[in-house]
Chains A and B, each alone.
Chain A
């Protein structure tokens, strides 16, 4: 287990390096000159634009830029934004809490709703409860947040005045964003839980357990749910990354601060250091979460330890 951990950590570092390199290269493919973007509309001369480009270090050959980037990243320095001139680490540190709160709350909504409905639907497979639940799951995936978010605000903030429409800071600010974001993930989760639980309920060992005369409750909780959880946990790991990186639309609709917004603005404006920094952070978080997922599965499912 310990050796496994070390090995995974090393490969994670390699993965991060690969990520850093890919992002660095991709960003250079995107059209646009940050110096020009910065100075458009200001009456700047071509010389002023050239000087700014040089100050940004964009005149250096690519290998030089790449080397500088790797060295400073290794030292923990993610550079400064080309547009706001702020240190990227600061920008991340200040936006991360809001994003984490949202992602964690949404993840919780997803887990509770997804697993709960999934089990319910599987146990009542074929009934109207099942159909309603699964219909709802589809609705969750096929109604866009940028649409449903506005509806929720219209109803619960403007109409009923129960919840603040926008912003961050208290749990009340989190309710609507967490629900819309969480429900998107809950749909697939509920369906997956339902389907794997149905698979498991008809597996041999359950038949054996029933044959031994174990009570249904024990069979379901101790055997069926436990085994059906494996694909679900896998998916929840995936969704954690999706939630973390996919908060941008939610943040925009509910006017929340957060990393998603920062990253999208940075990509759209080609703010190289900010994109590189945020992507590295998301990648690192993501890799860490999936490491956890793999470890969890190893604990739950002894079979997978054979690898």
Chain B
């Protein structure tokens, strides 16, 4: 690969202000850094990684840290505000929110990541194929994608629930499948933008096989879009699973899962805000962490493709 490829330096090398960014001094070809250094020197990545490690560790340590059974109800101790004995308070049924939060992390993060993977991988593949192949195949694939995109995800979810029975698995599948066409379309858009770039043309001229061109030249260049959307997809997934629970069709009670905890807590918003605030915070933090990491990863990957 030659210097003509449209790659750019990692974000953390960029100076803060636009004027600086555009200063002639910065127009020299950047000095490439090794990827591990890029990741290490990115404070955002550090924050993201720390949060994620913390959240995952807390979830995995649930059996030791939770203290009480997340399912144990105690109607007499309902809606207690956060205290020493209940660090995150109790919910309507008197269950310990902290314990449910920890145990819920396993299910929520697992389901969210699974749904995201389910959306990103096939979606990206479809988009790459459609965008690179072009012509009739692109046309057909994109029409199918359009139809799927317009398809109400609730109907899809209900059909899956009807076939598999209600529960977290059905909800995860439904949310993941519903995300595929989104990625297909965005990736295809990105591919269209780069496929006529000189470096792709060049690869074609020197006789690279299509698979190789797509994987080695096209894919890395739409990667930033995929990472950005993919890291946000986790948020979508966690919330969509919650929204299905809001309709009573997602996670089945009494399973502790952040989405259903949030849905259950909204009726109590004015009376016991902690019931929904903690799972809400957990979702936001997790999504934030994944996004920070995603950004860093995007920058790091750019370095590699340049080298």
Contact = CB atoms under 8 A, between A and B. Distances in A.
Contacts of B150: 19, 241, 245, 279, 282-283, 285-287
A70 interface: no
A183 interface: no
Nearest to A233: B189
A126 B229 contact: no
Contact of A210 (B15, B22, B163, B242): B22
B189 A192 contact: no
Nearest to B4: A204
A26 B242 contact: no
Contacts of B147: 15, 18-19, 22, 283, 287
Most interface-central of B134, B193, B276 (chain A CB within 10 A):
B193
Which label, helix, strand, loop or mixed, suits the secondary structure of the B interface?
A: helix
A20 to B, nearest CB: 10
Interface in A99-142: 123-127, 131, 134-135, 137-139, 141-142
A195 B186 contact: no
Nearest to B188: A234
Contacts of B228: 188, 191-192, 195
A283 B298 CA distance: 34
B287 A138 contact: yes
B185 interface: yes
A231 interface: yes
A260 to B, nearest CB: 9
Contact of B44 (A131, A150, A199, A248): A131
Interface in B4-23: 4, 6-9, 11-12, 14-19, 21-22
Contacts of B56: none
B167 interface: no
For this complex, into which size category does the number of interface residues on chain B fall? 35 or more
B238 A238 contact: no
B155 A287 contact: no
B224 interface: yes
A192 to B, nearest CB: 6
B186 A234 contact: yes
A255 interface: no
Interface in B239-282: 239, 242-243, 246-247, 262-263, 266, 269-270, 276, 280
Interface stretch (A40-48, A56-64, A163-171, A263-271): A263-271
A66 interface: no
B146 A29 contact: no
A141 B17 contact: no
Interface stretch (B59-67, B93-101, B135-143, B211-219): B135-143
A142 B298 contact: no
A146 B263 contact: yes
Nearest to B156: A26
B162 interface: yes
Contacts of A88: none
A73 to B, nearest CB: 16
Contacts of A143: 280, 284
B238 A142 contact: yes
A287 B146 contact: yes
Given A142-B288, A188-B229, A219-B22, A26 B155 contact: yes
B8 A202 contact: yes
B192 interface: yes
Interface string A165-203: 000000000000000000000011001100110110111
Contacts of A216: 18-19, 22
B5 to A, nearest CB: 9
Contacts of A285: 150
A95 interface: no
Nearest to B195: A303
A154 interface: yes
Contacts of A154: 269-270
Interface in A220-271: 220, 227, 230-231, 234-235, 237-238, 241, 245, 248-249, 263-264, 267-268
B169 interface: no
B70 interface: no
Interface of B: 4, 6-9, 11-12, 14-19, 21-22, 24, 27, 44, 134-135, 138-139, 143-144, 146-147, 149-156, 158-159, 162-163, 182, 185-186, 189-190, 192-193, 196, 224-225, 228-229, 232, 235-236, 238-239, 242-243, 246-247, 262-263, 266, 269-270, 276, 280, 283-284, 286-288, 291, 295, 298
Given A19-B147, A191-B232, A249-B246, 18 more contacts: A18-B144, A22-B147, A30-B158, A142-B238, A142-B283, A146-B263, A146-B266, A154-B269, A196-B225, A211-B27, A230-B192, A234-B189, A263-B154, A279-B151, A279-B152, A286-B149, A297-B189, A307-B135
- A-B pairs with lowest CB-CB distance, top 10: A202-B8, A234-B189, A286-B150, A283-B150, A127-B16, A123-B18, A142-B287, A142-B235, A141-B235, A142-B284
13 contacts: A126-B14, A127-B17, A138-B287, A141-B232, A142-B284, A191-B232, A201-B8, A203-B6, A237-B185, A241-B150, A245-B152, A283-B150, A285-B150
